[in-house]
Amino acid sequence: MCGIIGIYGNDEAATLAYLGLYAQQHRGQEGAGIVTLDGGKINRVMGDGLVADVYADPDKLHDLKGNIAIGHTRYSTTGGMDRKNVGPMLFNIQDEAISVAHNGNLVDLQKIRKELQTEGAIFQTTTDTEVIIHLMARAKGKSMADRLIMALDQVVGAYSLILLTPDGLIAARDPHGWKPFAIGKMDDTWVLASETCALDLIGAEEFREVQPGEVLLINADGLQVIRGQVKQTPHHCIFEYIYFSRPDSRIFGANVDKLRRRLGNTLAIEAPVPTADIVISVPDSSNTATIGYSIASGIKHEIGLIRNHYVGRSFIRPEQKMRDLTVKLKFNTVKGVLEDKEVIIVDDSIVRGTTMKKLVRLIREAGAKAVHVRVSSPPIRYSCHFGMDFPTRDELIANKRDLDEITAYLGADSVAYLSLEGLLGSMDKPANEFCTACFSGKYPVQLEEENRKDLFE
Amino acid sequence: MCGIIGIYGNDEAATLAYLGLYAQQHRGQEGAGIVTLDGGKINRVMGDGLVADVYADPDKLHDLKGNIAIGHTRYSTTGGMDRKNVGPMLFNIQDEAISVAHNGNLVDLQKIRKELQTEGAIFQTTTDTEVIIHLMARAKGKSMADRLIMALDQVVGAYSLILLTPDGLIAARDPHGWKPFAIGKMDDTWVLASETCALDLIGAEEFREVQPGEVLLINADGLQVIRGQVKQTPHHCIFEYIYFSRPDSRIFGANVDKLRRRLGNTLAIEAPVPTADIVISVPDSSNTATIGYSIASGIKHEIGLIRNHYVGRSFIRPEQKMRDLTVKLKFNTVKGVLEDKEVIIVDDSIVRGTTMKKLVRLIREAGAKAVHVRVSSPPIRYSCHFGMDFPTRDELIANKRDLDEITAYLGADSVAYLSLEGLLGSMDKPANEFCTACFSGKYPVQLEEENRKDLFE
Amino acid sequence: MCGIIGIYGNDEAATLAYLGLYAQQHRGQEGAGIVTLDGGKINRVMGDGLVADVYADPDKLHDLKGNIAIGHTRYSTTGGMDRKNVGPMLFNIQDEAISVAHNGNLVDLQKIRKELQTEGAIFQTTTDTEVIIHLMARAKGKSMADRLIMALDQVVGAYSLILLTPDGLIAARDPHGWKPFAIGKMDDTWVLASETCALDLIGAEEFREVQPGEVLLINADGLQVIRGQVKQTPHHCIFEYIYFSRPDSRIFGANVDKLRRRLGNTLAIEAPVPTADIVISVPDSSNTATIGYSIASGIKHEIGLIRNHYVGRSFIRPEQKMRDLTVKLKFNTVKGVLEDKEVIIVDDSIVRGTTMKKLVRLIREAGAKAVHVRVSSPPIRYSCHFGMDFPTRDELIANKRDLDEITAYLGADSVAYLSLEGLLGSMDKPANEFCTACFSGKYPVQLEEENRKDLFE
Amino acid sequence: MCGIIGIYGNDEAATLAYLGLYAQQHRGQEGAGIVTLDGGKINRVMGDGLVADVYADPDKLHDLKGNIAIGHTRYSTTGGMDRKNVGPMLFNIQDEAISVAHNGNLVDLQKIRKELQTEGAIFQTTTDTEVIIHLMARAKGKSMADRLIMALDQVVGAYSLILLTPDGLIAARDPHGWKPFAIGKMDDTWVLASETCALDLIGAEEFREVQPGEVLLINADGLQVIRGQVKQTPHHCIFEYIYFSRPDSRIFGANVDKLRRRLGNTLAIEAPVPTADIVISVPDSSNTATIGYSIASGIKHEIGLIRNHYVGRSFIRPEQKMRDLTVKLKFNTVKGVLEDKEVIIVDDSIVRGTTMKKLVRLIREAGAKAVHVRVSSPPIRYSCHFGMDFPTRDELIANKRDLDEITAYLGADSVAYLSLEGLLGSMDKPANEFCTACFSGKYPVQLEEENRKDLFE
């Protein structure tokens, strides 16, 4: 998963890009990068770690001169953690430098990669972004946008792309509209971002979304549609609503916060615990769903876990070992709240279950009489091939276990998930406009043999 | 303000000290240091910044061999930000190395410092800790604890002290008991800490507090009282309950969380807003008081501000300029929650008012119809001389402004503070056992001319 | 200019490569890199600065596991100082990783580079090494050596190349034999190096040179000649004898030290100063020529300049401004030696003349009665296109000035250069086997328009 | 050993101090520091490593504002390598900051240190400099110079001291004049330095020496003698002439270069090798003596060893292990010069003999027929207590071995040292004005029991 940002037509382009990345830090904490175009000169500053750390030295932003910028926060999906893989990537096509920020994941690239190499292509990384660039370098289009369209026609998967080119900024979104992709405007400045929370921080108004299948060019003449929206049912990633996007963002046409609370409401109706004394959240990601649960159930919302914010967000760290070590460092129980209480703990989702297992134990140690786990999404049973960094199916707690086994594993008094119907029924859009593959196994595109097998393991 | 930790009798002393500092990170983010004693050898690793950053290199903890450790997180009160001032400090007294971790602030040291210098003392820093050490070096006591008692008899102010000496760990607390100071135990390991949340993370049971005026020695023979509790009324810092301590800590004999919620209850009764639609907190510090307000008032608690945890805690950063710049980076409004609502925002305290002024503006910009500010403590009108890092009186918003002026300054529809009576009435202890100087101007000790003037400016 | 090293068949390959680079530090001080092959795994550690600094952390050599290694010291010729340009470069050809260390410079690459890009090649750098790699990626050869031969057939210029490939080490030298290129052997270990001084430090015996035009493969079967020596007159860079190579190396079949002393002898005969009291060198580069001059002339050799070795070698620093600043820091005069003396100062070559101008002034300030400059090579009047990092012709002191003007510019009492005939006559090989383009303007290969113009400016 | 510098009355004081340290880099390579006084404000920048590295960031010199500066290059004698021990040290005496740069070594400090501690003194380091400061802090003198004189009256040993105080610069030299100490002047700027080579680089004229026993004050009124020269025979360190000082310096009233050449002359007369073909030096330290030997003997001086200057000076590195590893990296033999020759190698001194042993072997491996070692100083048999960083007596090759054993150990055909008479006879001053303790065991001051024992081990 990644957060991307593009700025066109502002003397403070790098600073705005920086703010836009900062607002989208939750979309990738492994590294950050910004590229600017200053006249014909390309500048890039990137590094490992948090946005604020990468640009802690004020000289770095100062060095990023120019009024066009793109940026990228990243956590490793394909490509490993080599510094080379921290975007935005820089390439030369016919001695013209272009740079690419990419959110999403292409599928089934092995064959096309092999063909390109047979023709003499030299790959620097294993990222899917580089495949797009090689296809562009070989395309015979006149403009960079033409080359990009020819390249995208040869690949399948999820992408929200921003290209910084000598022609201007180019934005492209896959025909399924998997990932969110917003356009903002502030006076004469155009802003492209994964989420609207980036526009808010920058101070830009939301203009519209980049539509599924669109290719747009932003240059001195303004915003131009190079290729229009495709006519096909979109498949938005429903997990963005459940967990990934920030609650104050507006994606796929609705406020995340509103839908997330609605998931809590529906969960309270589907899976009540009438005897419970209090409902607590796993701060901060399930705070909103917990309030939804509390209001719909009438059970008092309390703060039973204190989160230590001096460590990062566990979901996003790529090393399993590190996560286990830091769980204890991340939450402390409030004994006065939990003692002698029957407690509902609401979480937005359960992936491996290792964190929740420990939380249940901590809550019991704090004196709770009973612990009921309620999850505001269905069980995750399938891999995501489109950019969400789930572990392999074997590691998913809900893959091979039924509800009783999960309850036993977590050590809870009861466990209940939101149903898929409940999830889809809480949305503002029709059910068929979402990708629910991680819950249902129904992938919107056909995957090659190797990946399909994964479904039936 | 500082957080301190001491570990006696554990092969993993440095790691436990590290965890103890990490849990107390909120008590000081400017720097951290740990000193261990390994046989006769002293080891020290300290650095600027967060605990997790200072010890990010695992070799650093590994180098801190020994089964006795003390540690310190610090933000600059006296002493400036020179690396020399990051504790624990190391000194030689008669070629025996001792190290000191100190939470608190001594008063009126100018005279004693001058006398010491006339006798040939050479000061390395301007910290009050170093004054204690020079007094110890000159004391004629046989043991380090004797020397310490002689030294402490010559100074006035707030201190919770841990000394690592060749004799063992020594703990000392000022007769007023200004700062919290807990003793924990885990099998044969003794733990000393500012707050019990450090004991929880380490896994130690609370044993008791270090009592006001006590001097304790922990060595192979266990815990020994070298000097007992003084017979005088204590003066606990009430601001620890309001803001500074972690809600999951137990200090001065009561759970912080419980009292903090009670402040919200009392505030709801003293300063209701019957027409309000929702009550929101300034996350995370006023979350607990807000829940208290919500429950007592029956007004729905909502999440109207999202906090970006990738920046630190504003109260604690020493440079005013930096804070202004980062306020916008720290909070984003949730428009769907605030739009067309009459909003109560609860904060635990208002110091300068600059952050709240911006929050009120942000909430209005998000579409709120009205914004009522409610503060779960009285107006701060006086300087703290005992370690709380308030600005000068001139910068305190409540020092020269009445409530109407504050309301105008903040741009709120109404502002109300908790009364001093309401504050003291919410406590579990008698009113005279607290230091309320920052609200009332009544300092528990007489200050010298220079400091007294400050009161009547 | 660069120094290169290759090691085949030694468990300490990285350490030997490190020693080989260290011995060749004079061939490039801007950066260093080593690549090893450990089973199928490629390891690389490179960095800016001196060899000893790049590998100052012992973990770095330790990480370079494997029994095959190549290495590179570099100073910027083409390619700028971007870290990307510090070799050895790593590329994938058909998903097989290869790495290249290159000493030399190709000419007239613009056209071929453009063609490659039209076919879709994406260049990461502007180095000539990368052009070779792209040609290899497109070549239809079965083995890497075949691909390399096909690629080299398309380019012109100077190169001593070492490739680390899955097939083994490949060595290739251009048909002119511009750059030195030695093969060494130590038990079962093969060593490739620019200069024999690297073999000496490693402890390997000189085996033979890589012959002009040869392509060799070193693998488990030993050393194999894939393409033999070409039948054409070589053109060895005579400047390697004059200045660049280390005096203890043996290149082009002769000891550098012996020839360099002979240049001093010939200079003494061609340009005597009968009245001089002493002859001094510019330490350390002209020490050997100065002893040659002293012996042939009978004039006493003294140490009149002390060199401060805490700064680097001026010729090699790419920023003019920095050099000017550091000249004064590099030499101090020995007054007791120079006072009231008529002094001959011998230098191996004069490029811009800025250093010598300052030295003459310093020597006069130390009390010398007269200063005679003697140069053990002819005037440098033409650019080098084959890797010697001379400045543009405009900056060469001898390009537009006659001897009187040079004498005036330097402020010397007299100036004399070794004649081209004297230079060639001092060699052990026939005159036509050397490239003397920088002195004579006779380039061994025809250059394209753009570069030819440079000759007649 | 250390190099010190002081600058008074120049807006570029820090830059001049930097140049002065750079010129004296040979006097200490472990660390460097500069302190400036800017109005009442003290600035300090210090670090580990070479001068050029410590101040590689130009901001560092820029931060050192002020027109008075002192500086220090250091290698560890007493005090270990803790950063605290890198001078110049900073102390407060009566809240007035003073800073001290010190070259030399005090003896027998244990008793005085213990007394100071009993009175309450707290030591930060184990350096002798700090003892002086504590004595100053306790002295009842009115001015800093008075306090210094009282402090120096209580100690014995070698010192050339520069103090930066609010009163101005103070210079003091011990009554024996062990260490060199020069005063320079450049317009209105005063310069103090260990060696005159620092004055040369800065561009200052030598004014005079600080005389043995003198205490001088430099302030706005110019140079004032606070205490005059003592009337006692001086004891200049003769090893400064032999090895330590730079050949272009003038110390103790004579040019180092001139005397060093004379040592070579005398050695040639005392220890001839009539059959030898060539004489070579160990570059660079014995270059001058070798020329002296060559001229007096008529044997041809050749360059048989090439020194790689990318590593530091072996004598000065404190870790024995590191030196052994780097010897091979430091010298390479020139085979063409040494092959089939009978070789004399001249070195200025032999301490442990480990380097020479390896050089002899290397020279033989290069084909020399015979190797004769000639040393331009007598055998070192005793420890230095006055600042020269010799190893313990046990490690000195000449301590327990006679000449035959040394010859066998070194593997040489013959070994000869300069006689003590020859050494003293080559000087310009009477023999009794030098400290020759390391050769003769005659220490100019009586040492305490513990140290005396060392003499008779």
Residue listed under structure tokens 């956590």: A75
Task: Name the E strands within D82-188.
Answer: 89-93, 96-107, 156-165, 168-173, 182-186
As given in the structure block, the two tokens for residue B41 are: 């050898």
CB contact under 8 A, C91 and A133: no
Of D257, D303, D310, the CB nearest to C52: D310
Say which of A2, A197, A237, A438 is annotated catalytic. Answer: A2
What pLDDT does residue B303 have? 93
For chain C, what's the residue count? 457
pLDDT at A255: 96
Test A336 with B255 for CB contact under 8 angstroms.
Answer: yes
Q: For residue D306, which residues of chain C lie inside 8 Å, CB to CB? A: 246-248, 284
Of the candidates C69, C73, C58, which has an alpha carbon nearest to the alpha carbon of residue C11?
C69
CA distance A251 to A73: 18
Q: What is the pLDDT of residue D94?
A: 85
**B419 part of contact set with chain A, CB < 8 Å:** no
Share of residues in chain C with pLDDT > 90 (%): 72
- Among candidate residues B405, B304, B320, the one with its CA nearest the CA of residue B362: B304
Distance from CA of A181 to the nearest CA of C (A): 28
Q: How far apart are CA A195 and CA A23, in angstroms?
A: 9
Q: D287 CB near a chain C CB, below 8 Å?
A: yes
Chain A neighbors (3+ CB pairs < 8 Å): B, C
List active site positions of B.
2
State whether A122 and C92 contact (CB < 8 Å). yes
- Three-state DSSP at B17 gives helix
Closest Cα in chain C to D303: C288
Q: Could you tell me if D321 lies within 8 Å of chain C, comparing CB atoms?
A: no
Which residues, 6+ apart, have CB-to-CB distance to C33 below 8 Å?
A: C44, C45, C46, C47, C54, C71, C72, C74, C86, C87, C88
Q: Is A138 on the interface with C (CB under 8 A)?
A: yes
Asked if D253 is an interface residue toward chain C (Cβ–Cβ < 8 A), one would say no
User: Cα angle vertex B392, ends B390, B396, to 5°?
Assistant: 75
Q: Which of C19, C22, C248 sits opposite D306 (nearest CB)?
A: C248
Does D233 score more than 90 pLDDT? yes
How close are the terminal C-alpha atoms of chain B, in Å?
25
Residue of A nearest to B334 (CA): A248
Q: What is the DSSP letter of B84?
A: G
Residue B423 has pLDDT above 70, yes or no: yes
* Stronger pLDDT, C416 or A309, i.e. the higher one: C416
Query: Per-residue pLDDT tens for D417-440?
Result: 999 999 999 999 999 999 999 999
A159/A107 Cα distance (integer angstroms): 11
Of all helices (H) and strands (E), which one includes residue C267?
helix C256-270
CB contact under 8 A, C134 and A117: no
Please give the pLDDT value at position C210. Answer: 98
Q: Is the pLDDT of residue B356 over 90?
A: yes
Least confident residue range of B46-55, B173-182, C360-369, D236-245: B46-55
**Cis previous bond, B234, omega within 30:** no
Please indicate if any CB of chain C lies within 8 Å of the CB of A117: yes
pLDDT in tens, D270-310: 999 999 999 999 999 999 999 999 999 999 999 999 888 77
pLDDT reported for residue C316: 38
- Cα–Cα distance for residue pair A116/C330, rounded to 1 Å: 53
> What whole-number distance in Å separates Cα of residue B182 and Cα of residue B210?
6
Per mean pLDDT, which range of B39-43, B324-328, C152-156 is the poorest? Answer: B324-328
State the smallest CA–CA distance between residue C104 and chain D in angstroms.
Answer: 24
Q: To which residue do tokens 């084959």 refer? A: C386
Taking the CA of residue C220 as centre, how many other CA atoms within 13 Å lie in the half-sphere pointing to its CB?
2
Tell me if chain B has a CB within 8 Å of the CB of A287: yes
Q: Choose among B92, B94, B117: nearest Cβ to D94.
A: B117
Answer yes or no: do A332 and B23 touch at CB < 8 A: yes
% of chain C surpassing 70 pLDDT? 92
Q: CA–CA distance from D60 to each of D35, D65, D82 (Å)? A: 11, 10, 21
Helix (H, G, I), strand (E, B) or coil at A223: strand
**What's the pLDDT at B392?**
86
Burial code (b: 16+ CB inside 10 Å, e: under 16) for C180-210 equals: bbbbbbbeebbbbbbbbbbbbbbebeebebb
User: Mind listing the pLDDT tens digit for each residue in C191-249?
Assistant: 999 999 999 888 899 999 999 999 999 999 999 999 999 999 999 999 999 999 999 99
- D153 has a chain B CB within 8 A of its CB: no
Flag if C23 and D332 touch (Cβ within 8 Å). yes
Give one DSSP letter per residue of B290-328, joined into a string: HHHHHHHH-PEE---EEE-TTS--GGG-S-HHHHHHHHH
Residue D325 confidence class, pLDDT cut points 50, 70, 90: low
Flag whether pLDDT at D117 surpasses 80. Answer: yes
Query: How far, in Å, are C7, C139, D270, D429 from residue D266 at the CA level?
Result: 49, 71, 6, 16
pLDDT band at B326 (very low <50, low <70, confident <90, very high): low
Q: Are residues B109 and B128 in contact, defined by beta-carbon separation less than 8 angstroms?
A: yes
**Minimal-distance CA residue of chain C relative to D256:** C336
Q: What is the pLDDT of residue A85?
A: 55
How far is residue C372's CA from residue A312's CA, in Å, rounded to a whole number? 70
- CB-side neighbour CA atoms (13 Å) of C46: 27
Chain D interface includes B230 (CB < 8 A)? no
Short-list B32, B36, B37, B26, CA closest to B83: B32
Query: What stretches of D380-419 show up as alpha helix (H) in DSSP?
Result: 397-400, 403-410
pTM comes to 0.80
CA distance D351 to D388: 12
**Residue in C255, C295, C309 closest to D309 by CB:** C309
Residue B449 has pLDDT above 80, yes or no: no
Q: What is the pLDDT of residue B320?
A: 37
A223 to A184, A192, C343, C430: CA distances (angstroms):
11, 11, 75, 70
Statement: residue B116 has pLDDT above 80? yes
For residues B212 and B234, is the Cβ–Cβ distance under 8 A?
A: yes
Does the N-terminal peptide bond of residue C284 adopt cis geometry, omega within 30 degrees of 0? yes
Residue D290 contacts C, CB cutoff 8 Å: no
Between CA A99 and CA A87 the distance in angstroms is: 9
Cα D215 to Cα D174: distance, rounded to the nearest angstrom: 9
The span from the first CA to the last CA of chain A, in angstroms, equals 25
Residue type for C347, please?
D
| Dist CA B82 CA B327 (whole Å) | 26
The residue of chain C nearest to residue D286, with distances taken between CA atoms, is C303
- Residues of chain B in contact with residue A19, where contact means CB-CB under 8 angstroms, are 329
Which residues of chain C neighbour D362 with C-beta distances below 8 Å? Answer: none
Beta bridge partners of A92: A97
pLDDT band at C312 (very low <50, low <70, confident <90, very high): very low
Confidence grade of residue C318 (pLDDT, cut at 50, 70, 90):
very low
CA distance A385 to C114: 38
**Confidence label for C84 from pLDDT (cuts 50, 70 and 90):** low
Residues whose CB is less than 8 angstroms from the CB of residue D123 and which lie 6 or more positions away in sequence, other chains included: B92, B95, D113, D116, D117, D130, D134
Distance CA A197, CA C196 (A): 63
Lowest mean pLDDT among A412-416, B345-349, C449-453: C449-453
Say whether C266 sits in a helix, a strand or coil.
helix
Q: C171, C370, C410: which is closest to C280 by C-alpha?
A: C370
Query: C170 forms bridges with which residues in the sheet?
Result: C163, C217
Which helix (H) or strand (E) segment holds residue D51: the answer is helix D51-54
Question: Which pLDDT belongs to residue B11?
Answer: 92
Q: What is the ipTM of this complex?
A: 0.84
Percent of chain B with pLDDT over 70: 91
Angle, CA D128 vertex, CA D126 and CA D130 arms, to 5°:
75
Chain B residues inside the 8 Å CB shell of A308: 22-23, 25
Q: Give B329 or B89, the one with higher predicted confidence.
A: B89
Interface touch A19/B246, C-beta < 8 Å: no
Average pLDDT, chain B: 90
φ, ψ for residue C167, nearest 5 deg:
-80, -15
For chain A, list residues with pLDDT below 50.
77-83, 312-324, 453, 455-457
pLDDT at D152 over 60: yes
**Residue B373: how many other CB atoms lie within 10 Å:** 28
What are D132-141's pLDDT values in tens digits? 999 999 998 8
Element (H or E) spanning A168, and its range?
A: strand A168-173
Q: Give the pLDDT of residue C86.
A: 61
Q: Indicate yes or no: CB of C311 within 8 angstroms of CB of D19.
A: no
Of A10, A1, A52, nearest to A191 by C-alpha is: A10
CA D367 from centre of chain: 36
Are A302 and B291 within 8 A, CB to CB?
A: yes
The pLDDT of residue D126: 80
